[in-house]
Structure 1
Amino acid sequence: MKNSGIKISLFLIYFVFAALLNSVGILVERAQEVYGIAKPDAAILEPFKDISIAIMAFVVGSFLPRLGFKKGMLISLAVVFFGCIGMFFGNSFLAVKLLFLCVGLSFAVVKVAVYALIGYITDGKKEHSSLMNLIETVFMIGIIFMYVIFPLFYDDNDPNAWLNGYLLMAGLIAVAFFIIMFSKFDVEPEKSNGVKDDFSKMFALFKKPLIWIFAAFAFLYVMTEQGIMTWLPTFNKDTLKLSPKLGSQMAVLLMVSIALGRFIAGILSKKIKWIYISAISAVLAIVLVLLVLPLAENIEAKEIKSITDLPVVSYLFPLIGLFLAPLYPLINSTVLSSVDKGIHSSLAGILTFFSAVGGTAGSLLIGNLFDSLGGDKVFYLSIIPFGLMFIIFFVINKMTSNSDSEAIAK
């Protein structure tokens, strides 16, 4: 298989970072349960992760090719390895914040590297879209792994047992480090004229209308996804009256539905134009919110002995992941494959920046409104970004439909 070493490396590192990056939902719940942190204070974990991603993405997006994609990925893995060890021994809310700072800084480098490398190792829009969907599916599998495996370490008799999950993560990170270190990267990015020139070219992209529309989409999508993903375990515990362990385990249904949705989208995108898949998905997501969330009202606590005892909304609402799933990889691939490969790293930096800011906005918004609006009402807010994204899809389609060169030149 062409570029198989690079592809395996991308799958592996995205799996590891997906597990760590999106454990914020679990840690928000753990911060409340173990460290006695209030919801608005626990919501600060998202900014610790996302603001560090945003800052690093802007810094590294323009000159990562000069550093080297492989070297950047190895440094990132080393940083999060020590972050996990620090979490195990630190066992405090401060240690949690430092962990997400490490994860955020490192993931910015990894995401820019992965998105840029996809452009170098694929030929044509269809192959680009297919690999993008596959990598994003692996990303969701990493999240599923975290939500399934991590709660297995919970022990009612040992309040610190859950920290052993970070020793497991440190071990996986070490494996990923050595596999990537010995993988061969035959990628030759275009030579630049220096860091100053790299930055000027990156900022010049903001003169293009397509880039602003793309940035708006990234912000809205991740705001919606992270707002739901981060607070779903808390929603399950506080609103649906499930135990902390069961609440985290049931939240994995969202990740499973996103992974399944991306796998299906990867198949459908070979036969159906992305705009139709995206527009229909946004409409169906809005319909699901309106039909399912009313079922979350006035849930009473009761003993859960079997799946039939679970509130219906606990396994219906996470199905919104099926409709969230196609949007991010399809739009990202459409825009990235419409521009020159030489600016993929810079464009990935911009995408990562606005995605991170959107993630912070979504988590803080839901965290601060969760109690005032009520857990059964707060997720209705997702209808607004879904509606805006629906409009954005048609704008991007118009901008990219003429020709690859015209799309970025306008």
Structure 2
Amino acid sequence: MRLRTIVALALTYALLGLLMNSVGVVILQSIRHFDVTKVTASTLEACKDLSVVAASFLLATRVAAFGYRRALIGVLAVMAVVCFAASFSTGFVAMQALFVAIGLGFGVAKVATYSTIGLLAKDQADHASLTGSIEGVFMLGVLGGAWLFGWFIAQDGSSTDWLGVYRLIAGLCLAAALLWFTVKLDESAAEPDEARAGWGEMLKLAMLPSTIAILIGLFLYVLIEQGLGTWLPTFNSEVLHLPASTSVQMASIYVAALALGRLVSGVVLRRIDWLPVLLACLAAVAVLVVAMLPLARGVEPASEPGWRNAPLLAFTFPLIGFFLAPIYPTICSVALSAMPKRQHPTLVGLIVIFSALGGTIGSMITGFLFQTLPGEHAFYFVLLPAALIALLLVKIRRNQSLTKQHA
């Protein structure tokens, strides 16, 4: 039964990862088929992320009382309905409504997922291993989604055929919901305080100087990661002159680099202190941006565009994800390990909120830059938040040292 629960949890999280990170693809398709501007298309990120914020702030403290298993079944059922409806949409407003629903569902499901992991874990080591496995499957969902959407776009004979992907996703969500009906989850061990945790405790925690540094650092990181990931398909299409389907598929290199970077960092951080590792990663990100983006100037469309004839930059620039990857989970780990366990759910709620805000603002900034600047210049914005994160990491380390001295 434990294995079946883990499989159901992983499948649910992978499907949500696929939906949450399809926003870049849908932005590209909305620009092409719904005749909207880049700035307007970037509002899809806001629809998704602000809904996550709303769910985290308004519903996160109620999920335990409702039941984790029932919450996940409910989210999957809603996703099945909205995805099926989206497959028949004919306008951009329908896409905005879809991502509002996806954001609300993900906000609830993330709380339920992490809480369920706590119920399943046998000890601290098992908790870390299970969390890593679930997050790994999440990344596989993101990666698989890029190829799935790319295939449907390649088969698109009209402006709406690609929306058929949502009928397939609706079926998968329904199958995952049915799988949960075969699972028995003992939720009696859930902490009562977790169910009663309120907004007041969240606000008090958010006002602590150490928490502020953590949350700003995470906000800036997600601003970078989502800004790059959301607009990379558009960069590939408009700057590197690749076909839409190839642009989407090649953006999956970025996701694969993120996944590999997190796996490698898990080994490296066992041997080396986290601060020099993250500072080195940020330096590598800056070097890649400065060295690689000039190669985008003067790229001409290939006579037979595709993977074989894609510019070198289409393969190398997404590797920036490898160096970005360790930053987010490491900052989260440092923050949570310094907090009493009773405050972990509250801090996770704050992390989700600030991450969502960072994703929204990052996408909108990048969309504005693509709209007003030549496309090859838009991604230079990464350099400023990367420098600010480096300064915040030093501040976080100082706070960590002071806490240990007073302990």
TM-score (norm 1): 0.91
Deviation per residue, 1:21-69 (Å, 9 max, x gap) = 0100000011011111111111111111111111111112333222222
Residues 88, 175 of structure 1: alpha-carbon distance in 2 compared, 3 angstrom cutoff = same
**CA–CA distance in structure 2, aligned partners of residues 401 and 115 of structure 1:** 28
Q: Give matches, 1:100-111, under 5 Å.
A: 100-111=99-110
TM-aligned CA distance change 1:45 to 1:373, over 3 Å: same
Q: Which moved more, 1:197-206 or 1:43-52?
A: 197-206
1:299 paired residue number: 299
Letter in 1 for 2:395: V
Percent of matched pairs sharing the same residue: 34
- Aligned-pair Cα RMSD in Å: 2.5
Give the equivalent residue in structure 2 for 1:235.
235
Residue of structure 1 in register with 2:179 after alignment: 179
In structure 2, C-alpha distance between the alignment counterparts of 1:42 and 1:113, rounded to whole Å: 30
Q: How many angstroms does 1:308 deviate by?
A: 4.9
- The answer for the alignment partner of 1:394 in structure 2 is 394
Which residue of structure 2 aligns with residue 189 of structure 1? 190
Q: CA deviation at 1:201?
A: 2.0
Higher deviation after alignment, 337-346 or 168-177? 337-346
Q: Give the distance between the partners of 1:90 and 1:279, measured in 2 at CA.
A: 45
Q: Provide the residue aligned with 1:23 in structure 2.
A: 22
Please name the residue that 2:379 is paired with. 379
- Evaluate the alpha carbon distance shift between residue 382 and residue 194 of structure 1 in structure 2; reply closer, same or farther with a 3 A threshold: closer
Aligned residue identity for 1:273: D
Partner SS, residue 62 of structure 1: helix
Matches of 1:35 and 1:261, distance apart in 2:
36
Instruction: Give the Å deviation of 1:120.
Output: 5.2
Does the aligned pair in 1 maintain the 2:222–2:359 contact within 8 Å? yes
In structure 1, the residue matched to 2:83 is 84
Q: Match for 1:85: what amino acid?
A: F
Task: Tell me the TM-score normalised to structure 2 length.
Answer: 0.92
Partner of 1:46: 45
TM-superposed deviation, 1:20: 0.3
Please give the secondary structure, in 2, of the residue aligned with 1:8. helix
Q: Is the 8 A contact 2:285 2:320 kept in 1?
A: yes
Whole-angstrom distance in 2 between the partners of 1:323 and 1:193: 35
- Report how far residue 138 of structure 1 moved: 1.9
Q: Does 2:282 align with 1:309?
A: no
Mapped to 2, the partners of 1:193 and 1:23 lie a distance apart of 32
Hey, what does 1:260 align to over in structure 2?
260
- Matched-pair contact (CA < 8 Å) for 2:229–2:254: yes
What is the CA-CA distance between 1:283 and the residue it aligns to? Answer: 1.4
Shift of 1:119: 4.9
Contact persistence 1:61–1:348 (CA under 8 A): no
Matched with 2:358 is 358
Question: Equivalences for 1:54-203 in 2 at 5 Å?
Answer: 54-119=53-118, 121-122=120-121, 129-154=128-153, 155-187=155-187, 188-192=189-193, 198-203=198-203
Structure 1 residue 192, shift from structure 2 partner: 3.6
Q: Structure 1 residue 71: deviation in Å?
A: 2.2
Q: Distance in 2 between matches of 1:388 and 1:118?
A: 33
Indicate conservation of the 8 Å contact 1:119/1:344, yes or no. Answer: no
2:281 pairs with 1:284: no
Shift of 1:275: 2.7
What secondary structure sits across from 1:159 in the alignment? coil
Maintained 8 Å contact 1:129/1:329: no
**In 2, Cα distance between equivalents of 1:398 and 1:135:** 32
Equivalent position amino acid for 1:277 in 2: V
Which residue is equivalent to 1:247?
Answer: 247
> Structure 1 regions of 5+ residues with no counterpart?
none
Number of equivalenced pairs? 405
Partners of 1:121 and 1:402 in 2: how far apart?
A: 34
| Residues 177-186 or 46-55, more deviating | 177-186
Write the distance in 1 (CA, Å) between the matches of 2:281 and 2:58: 34
> Larger deviation: 45-54 or 343-352?
343-352
Closer, same or farther: CA 217–230 of 1 in aligned 2, 3 Å: same
C-alpha separation in 2, matches of 1:135 and 1:404: 31
- Displacement of 1:223 in angstroms is 0.8
Residue type of the alignment partner of 1:370:
F
Alpha-carbon contact 1:136-1:262 (below 8 Å) kept = no
Measured in 2, the distance between the counterparts of 1:396 and 1:352 equals 19
Of residues 208-217 and 306-315 in structure 1, the stretch that sits farther from structure 2 once superposed is 306-315
Partner SS, residue 382 of structure 2: helix
CA contact (8 A) 2:64 2:195 kept: no
Kept after mapping to 1: 8 A contact 2:86/2:166: yes
Offset of residue 305 of structure 1: 5.6
3-state secondary structure, aligned to 1:63: helix
Residues 406 and 172 (structure 1 numbering): CA distance in 2 closer, same or farther, change over 3 Å? farther
Q: Secondary structure at the match of 1:350?
A: helix
Offset, 1:4: 4.2
Residue 121 of structure 1: CA displacement?
Answer: 4.8
Question: 3-state DSSP class of the match of 2:272?
Answer: coil
Provide the residue aligned with 2:345 in structure 1. Answer: 345
Deviation larger for 298-307 or 249-258: 298-307
Q: Is the 8 A contact 1:134 1:262 kept in 2?
A: no
Name the counterpart of 2:12.
Answer: 13
* Match in the other structure for 1:204: 204
Quick one: distance in 2 between partners of 1:44 and 1:133? 31
- The structural deviation recorded for 1:405 is 12
Q: Which runs of 5+ in 2 are unaligned?
A: none
Q: Is the 8 A contact 2:57 2:199 kept in 1?
A: no
Letter matched to residue 189 of structure 1 = A
